Structure 1
């Protein structure tokens, strides 16, 4: 490769024919920016309350609105108290990640250093401080703490 300052297009480093950028384009002004802000929200990215995305730009898929997202009281639960294998995998993965990021370990360690092994030990002793949210077809949900669920 030749280091004479040239480029691959034959200009030999001469930029005399290139127009300098002065910071504004022809045909664009502050009024155009204001129109874009009015359509999409304010300059800080906040959306209007009547936008279909809802508060703070959160999209609630599968729900008709905030009113349908209500939790069931603990005595009126309809789902099974058994932890599914998918919930177990998610709980162990989440807790292992927390432990690997120096979260406090809630069980006494007996030589374990692997975060996943520590998370499994916490699960067997029902010490994991997480809550499982189970969504129901009607849009409501049930919250179960990990200590309430029966893990096989």
Structure 2
């Protein structure tokens, strides 16, 4: 296997951190922000981000049952409330883009639960974590990795 770089430009790192932090502040729900980041990281198979955001979620008091069932949130019944379900559906639609775009029904459901500013920040957060996931997965940075 070709060795992979652990180098990440400081300006890129600072910019991505700033985007994520601004999106989290604008969303105004730290627990939901962590659920979204964990779910995107699951879909992208990013062990580094999963490890980090699961730890943050636990520190912030996110219900362990939500974290345990997150990979199967659609099948978890009422464990996730309607707002969480809308955010997770949007996370999956933006992350996977199976149809090449975010389906109108998914976007419209999210818009029922988030005002325009919150929705903009939610999409920004999903985009930021996807950027981080891709940076870490492309370079195969492991869970708990420190050289990046």
TM range (shorter): under 0.3
Structure with more contact order per residue of length (Cα contacts < 8 Å, sep ≥ 6): 2
TM-score, normalized by length of structure 1?
A: 0.23
Which structure is larger by alpha-carbon Rg, 1 or 2?
Answer: 1
Q: Which structure has the highest helix share of the two?
A: 2
